[in-house]
Amino acid sequence: MIDASRLASIADRIQPYFRMVEAESYLEDTGISAEEFKPIKDTANFDGSIYAVDGSNVAAYTFGKDITLNYIRSGYVVYKGTQWEKTVITYDDLFLANPSDYIECFERYLKQKLNIKFTEGKFELKKNELGRISTYFRDLQEYIALRSALHTAKENDVILYDGGFSVWENSRHLGEALDSIFRSAKDKHVDIVGISKSTELSWSNDVDRPSFIRNTNYVGSLYLPNSPWYVDITENRKIRGFSISWKGKGKTFVTKFDGGSDFAFKVDVPRYAANHVDAVLSKIARYSGSAECQGYPHALFRAHREIRINDQEKSLEINRLFNELSKRGVTELQIRSMLMDFHNVLEMKPGGIL
């Protein structure tokens, strides 16, 4: 058991994390002025459709260093007004993340689904990225779902993407895909917006001020109480954590979609849509007041719930895989000895591989 005095010391250290900064201190330290918090106005009724893109990645087993079997799913939901119309799954499959055998799979999807031309060299992750192959592959599938949603969207529709539009270190090919998607969206007059539930943005290295979004939400709600609002933070040099890959491609906002909510979010808007961001955010705010997820667009809420892979689904697919292995002469004992986590043996947990 941890000593009580040690717990008291840690509590003293992290206590400031749970307090909000004074508004004057926030404005001084961030350089954001009170006038920069702008209300989201309730404009004319939006009669278009809202699309919400999301993905899920569940690790099944680890076979060796950085080699994992994952269950990945991606897709989107479609809302007409406040009514759900359909859910479309664009990828639903097991994926083996293997540092020595991944390039062909990535290139196939980049070429066939995102129309990326490999004119200079091949697709290849950097050494420090190889431990995140499955995460990158899920990102790739989410961009494919985004492109699929755009293909069916009509003029004045809005597509919401779960997350930001920064891409990973080996970003050239995926960056090209995003640029192509944004160009097509601009031509179709469809607005695409990335909404992040979590972010690394901060304005201090001190643990006393770790949550930029939470404090921005607090201060913004002091100046515009009971009102949805947004503030542009794109050019703010005092804020840390911006992605280099997103620089120049669009704008970033902190946005509160519902005045009665406790939450605000980081919102990435491509450059073409940032020119009319008031209208875009107004459309989204209109459908962010559901009691199920107040302050969060309901389409994204439903996309998360319907695309998420639960434990039951994972177990079903793994059992089906084991059946295929048994047809190939692999015994249950071989499977269990290969996949058993010895921690489960120590804890005397039954089974241990499902």
Say if residue 227 is exposed, middle or buried (CB neighbours under 10 Å; 0-12, 13-18, 19+): middle
pTM (two decimals)? 0.89
Average pLDDT of the chain to the nearest whole number: 87
* Topology at the third CATH level for domain 38-307: archaeoglobus fulgidus dsm 4304 fold (3.30.2170)
Highest mean pLDDT among 110-119, 168-177, 196-205: 110-119
Q: Answer whether 193's CB lies under 8 Å from 185's CB.
A: no
Report the first-to-last Cα separation within the chain, whole angstroms. Answer: 31
Mean pLDDT of 61-80: 88
Tell me how many degrees the CA angle 195-200-204 measures, rounded to the nearest 5: 135
- pLDDT of 340 strictly over 80: no
Q: Return the domain boundaries, the chain.
A: 38-307, 311-346
The 10s digit of each residue's pLDDT in 287-319 is: 898 889 999 999 999 999 999 999 899 888 888
Structure tokens at 301: 């809420």
* Pair 146, 91: CB distance under 8 Å: no
- Would you call 18 helix, strand, or coil by DSSP? helix
CB 275 within 8 A of CB 267: no
From CA 268, how far away is CA 282, in angstroms rounded? Answer: 15
106, 96 Cβ separation under 8 angstroms: no
The pLDDT value given to residue 231: 97
The predicted pLDDT at position 148 comes to 97
Q: Which residues contact 279 (CB under 8 A, 6 or more apart)?
A: 43
The whole-number pLDDT of residue 141 equals 96
The whole-number average pLDDT for the span 8-24 is: 84
Q: What one-character DSSP code corresponds to residue 35?
A: G
* Phi–psi pair at 49, nearest 5 degrees: -105, 150
Q: Which tokens in the block code for residue 252?
A: 């970033």
Out of 85-99, 105-119, 220-234, pick the least confident. Answer: 105-119
How many whole angstroms separate alpha carbon 213 and alpha carbon 119?
A: 41
Look-up: residue for tokens 């597509």?
159
* Predicted pLDDT of residue 325: 79
Segment 31-48 shows an average pLDDT of: 87
Tens digits of residue pLDDT in 203-222: 765 545 668 899 999 999 99
pLDDT > 90 in the chain, percent: 51
**Per-residue pLDDT for 75 more than 70?**
yes
Query: SS3 of 164, please?
Result: coil
Residue 197 CA, chain-centre distance (Å), reads 7
In the three-class reduction of DSSP (H, G, I as helix; E, B as strand; rest coil), residue 101 is classed as coil
Query: Average pLDDT in the 126-150 region?
Result: 91
246 DSSP assignment:
G
**Could you report the per-residue pLDDT of 250-262, keeping only the tens digit for each?**
999 999 999 999 9
Does the pLDDT at position 332 exceed 90? no
So what's the pLDDT on residue 319? Answer: 81
Of residues 249 and 170, more confidently modeled: 249
Alpha helices in the chain (DSSP H): 4-14, 23-30, 103-114, 133-152, 172-188, 212-223, 271-274, 277-286, 298-307, 311-327, 332-339, 342-346
- C-alpha gyration radius of the chain: 23
Secondary element (H or E) of residue 230: strand 229-232
Q: Give the distance from CA 161 to its chain's centroid.
A: 7
Considering only 65-74, 113-122, 263-272, which range has the smallest mean pLDDT? 113-122
Lowest mean pLDDT among 157-161, 179-183, 334-338: 334-338
Q: Are 158 and 48 in contact (CB under 8 A)?
A: yes
The pLDDT of residue 57 is above 90: yes
Nearest to 145 by CA among 73, 83, 93: 73
Q: Is 17:94 a contact under the CB 8 Å cutoff?
A: no
pLDDT band at 329 (very low <50, low <70, confident <90, very high): confident
Sorting pLDDT into bands at 50, 70 and 90, what band is 74? Answer: very high
Q: Residues 78-101: pLDDT tens digits?
A: 999 788 999 999 999 999 999 988
